[in-house]
Amino acid sequence: MCLYLSNLGLGPKVIDKSNGEVLSKESWYVTNQFSLEVIFHNTMKHYKCLTNDSSLASAIYVPYYGGLDLGQYLWGGFNISTRDASPKEIMKWLAQQPQWKRIWGRDHFMVLGRIGWDFRRRSDKEHDWGTKLMFLPEAKNMSFLLIESGGSYDNDFPIPYPTYFHPSKDMEIFQWQEKMRKMKRPYLFSFAGAPRPQSSSSIRSELIKHCQSSRSCKLLRCQHGSQNNCNDPKHVMKVFQRSVFCLQPPGDSFTRRSTFDSILAGCIPVFFDPQSAYKQYLWHFPKNDSSYSVYIPESDVKGKKVMINETLSTVSEREVLAMRKEVIRLIPRITYSDPSSRLETIEDAFDIAVKRVLGRIEKIRREITNVKDSRVDFSNMKNTISYLEGDKGSK
C-alpha cells in the first residue's frame, strides 16, 4: 500500500506511451481505491478557509486514517482487541479535547476510505468482520464521509471513490470532457470485473456470459496478480471510452470504484441494485437517476428475464446522447483534483463534499441553539461535523 500513498496519496504517476490517445498527457496516477483519506487530508491542507483558531471554526475535521489503519488487521487472524485499539484510542482522545466539549463532537467530521460495513462490527465475536469505530458512543455524534454507506444511518455520507485522474487546472477538465464527447464508441456495452463464484447472490457470472455471447460487448476480465489489467488506468479507460454503456453490478459490496471510472470515460453506467449509486451518492449525483444511467433489476438477470444486449439496444439514440451529455457533465463532480493545487472555476468532489458537510453542521448548530435557548438538555442530541489536528487546521 505504501507505493500508492506517494504523490500526496495519488500513487505513482502513469506513463502513457500512447501520446495521449487514451489518457491526457498529464495528471493521471495509479490511484488506489482506498486512498481517499490521504487525498482528502492533503487537499484540506490547502483549503482556502482554514483557521488556526478552532473556536472560530464552523466545523472540525479529524484526519484519522481509519481505513488504512484497519487494512492492516482485516486479514491474518488479528483479534478484535487489536482491531479496535486505535478507534477507541482516537475517540477517547477526541472526547477529552475542549473543542469536543463545546457541543459534544457534533461539529466534528471524519473521512474514511473504506465502506461503512468495515467500521460497524455488530458483535464481539473474533470471526466477525471489521471494527466498531462507528458504533462507539462518541462516533454517534460525528459525521462520516466514506465511499459507501453502511446502511440507514443518519451520520454517514457517501462520497466518490478516487479515480485515476487528478487535474491541477480547470482547462485539463474542459479538455478531457471535450475528448470524451468526440470519442468513437464501437461497443454497445462493456464489463470490467471478475466473477464471484463464492457468492450465490452475485450476478457477475451471468453478466460475463451475456458479454461473451454478444459481439457488441467488450470484456475486461480482472484477476489476482501483477497481470491484472483492471488495475491499469490505460486498459480500464480504453475499454470504457470505447463503450456506450458500462455494466456496474455489485461486487464485494454494493458500490464500485468502476462506476466513477466509467463516468470519467463518458460511459453510461448500468446499475442492477439501487444501493450501488441511487441511494448512496446523493451529494454528487443527480436526483433523476435515469438522466445519467440505466437500471436493470438484479432479479431480472437472475431470473433470465432479460438479455442485456437486447435491453440496451432499445435505448434510443436521443436518450443515449442525453445521458452521455449528463455523464460528461458529472466528470468534475466525481474528480478529486491534485491536492497541491486548487481549481479556479470548477467544484470538484472535494469541494462539493466540504460544502455539503458544512451545510449539515450549520443546520445542526441552529437546532442545538434553538434547543439550548429553550433551556432543554441537548447533550443527548445526535449528529454534527468536525475537524481537528492538535489545534491546527480547523475550518
**Each residue's pLDDT tens digit in the chain (395 positions)?**
888 899 999 999 998 777 778 998 889 999 999 999 999 999 999 998 888 888 889 999 999 999 999 999 999 999 999 999 999 999 999 999 999 998 999 999 999 999 999 999 999 999 999 999 999 999 999 999 999 997 889 999 999 999 999 999 999 999 999 999 999 999 999 999 988 877 878 999 999 999 999 999 999 998 776 667 888 899 999 999 999 999 999 988 999 999 999 999 999 999 999 999 999 999 999 999 999 999 999 999 999 999 999 999 999 999 999 999 999 999 999 999 999 998 999 999 999 999 999 999 999 988 888 765 543 333 343 333 334 655 444 55
Nearest to 74 by CA among 64, 84, 65: 84
- DSSP output for 245-256: EEEE---SSS--
Backbone dihedral region for residue 166 (phi beyond 0: left; psi -120 to 50: alpha; all else: beta):
beta
Which three cell numbers mark 37? 483519506
Nearest to 7 by CA among 52, 42, 57: 42
CA distance 246 to 240: 7
How large is the angle between the packed helices 257-264 and 233-241, nearest 10 degrees? Answer: 60
SS3 342: coil
- The whole-number pLDDT of residue 241 equals 97
- The whole-number pLDDT of residue 390 equals 54
Burial class (CB in 10 A: 0-12, 13-18, 19+), 175: middle
CA distance 27 to 337: 9
What are the backbone dihedrals phi and psi of residue 317, each rounded to the nearest 5 degrees, phi first? -60, -40
